[in-house]
Chain A
Amino acid sequence: MSMTPPKSGAELLNMSYLDMRSHLLEVAAAFDRIERAGGADDPRLELLRQVGRIALDAKPDRARRFLERLSE
């Protein structure tokens, strides 16, 4: 049985906005850093782009789908 979250979506956004901003910025900066260093011929980069799209899409269960995409 699920638990009803005591906080509203707006309150949760206030709690996590800076964390979300920080994590997304770190990803952006890491892609820039790798690119500045000449890039890498590594399939993990494309996988990261794919799961990045999952993280930002408009469908539910993003975390589960993110992990499934990275699973063997």
Chain B
Amino acid sequence: MRIIEPHIHMIARTTADYERMALMHTVACCEPAFWAGYDRTSALAFHDYFTHLTTFEPARAAQYLIQHYAWICINPKEAEDVALAKEVIAFIPEFLDAPTVLGIGEIGLNKNTRNELTVFELQVEMAVARGLLIWIHTPHLNDKLKGTRLMLDCLKAHGRVNPDRVCFDHAEEHTVGLIRDAGFWAAMTIYPITKNSPARVVDTLEQLGPERLLVDASGDWGPSDPATLHQAVFEMRRRGYDDDQVEAVFYDNPCLFLGQCPKFKPRPRRRGTP
């Protein structure tokens, strides 16, 4: 069985995690650009970060036979300073042609402010103009429902955003239906405390079906673990699903969404599944 990790911040993880992921049959992982745990002090710090994501991490992952892909953007937690965001957005195109960059992400909202929405819209425009995939961060905890609705309304009103090419991440029971009903992909993140548990992810798969649904561990420097993705694999098998059904969710589905970017090399076992 092969597994694809659609969202993980390997910059915050040790090489031992690459080894664990490889031993758990992860063949590819994707790293969206995000907050470092502190606000960066200049646009150049973002330039260094994007260089790291497009050079060092693919080489480190390759030692464990894992393909590493990246998404580039100014993240929502550092989008309140619109002037800084515009400085960063100005050099993002330098990185978009890198062989492992899949698109713009993880853009989105954090506290649902007007400035965050402005920076979100600027980057959506960049993605649409260049025909790129978009990976979206939805806010945490109490702000999630409102932020998800704001971004859905924004993208629907845009008129030129193809929902097939956009994934909203960190969805939970109260947002996953809204996202998919609007035609977008949804991703569910499994964290030890916040976000989803492995069992709740499998509950959602059972209730809403596996179409346009991804699962990730979103491991970073906080309470998180790459193995939570594999705990969901185990939960699905424990409930009696066969390997074909499991691989359709954890391998084919990421291939179907991410494979819309020709740079993404893994191919689904069956086109159009599940």
Contacts and interface: CB of A to CB of B under 8 A. Distances in A.
Interface of A: 1-7, 12, 15-16, 19, 61, 63-64, 66-68, 70-72
Given A63-B200, A63-B203, A70-B141, A5 B239 contact: yes
A42 B208 CA distance: 36
A71 B146 contact: yes
A71 B205 contact: no
Given A6-B241, A67-B174, A72 B146 contact: yes
A67 B145 contact: yes
Contacts of B141: 70
15 contacts: A1-B209, A2-B209, A3-B245, A6-B239, A6-B240, A15-B238, A19-B199, A63-B200, A63-B203, A64-B177, A66-B173, A68-B145, A70-B142, A72-B142, A72-B143
The B contact surface, by secondary structure, is helix
A63 B206 contact: no
Contacts of A1: 209, 211
B207 A2 contact: yes
B144 interface: yes
A5 B207 CA distance: 9
A15 B143 CA distance: 33
Given A16-B199, A71-B142, A3 B205 contact: yes
B210 interface: yes
Most chain B Cβ neighbours within 10 Å, of A2, A16, A67, A71: A71
A66 B75 CA distance: 29
A71 to B, nearest CB: 4
Nearest to B209: A1
B239 A64 contact: no
B30 to A, nearest CB: 25
A68 B209 contact: no
A70 B211 CA distance: 27
A9 to B, nearest CB: 12
Interface in B141-156: 141-146
Contacts of A5: 206, 239-240
B116 interface: no
B106 interface: no
Nearest to B199: A16
Given A5-B239, A71-B146, 4 more contacts: A3-B245, A63-B172, A67-B172, A68-B174
Nearest to B235: A15
B142 to A, nearest CB: 5
Contact of A71 (B145, B208, B238): B145
Interface in B85-134: none
Interface in B23-63: none
Interface in B169-198: 172-174, 177
Most chain A Cβ neighbours within 10 Å, of B174, B200, B238, B240: B174
Nearest to B177: A64
A70 B141 CA distance: 8
B86 to A, nearest CB: 28
A71 B207 contact: no
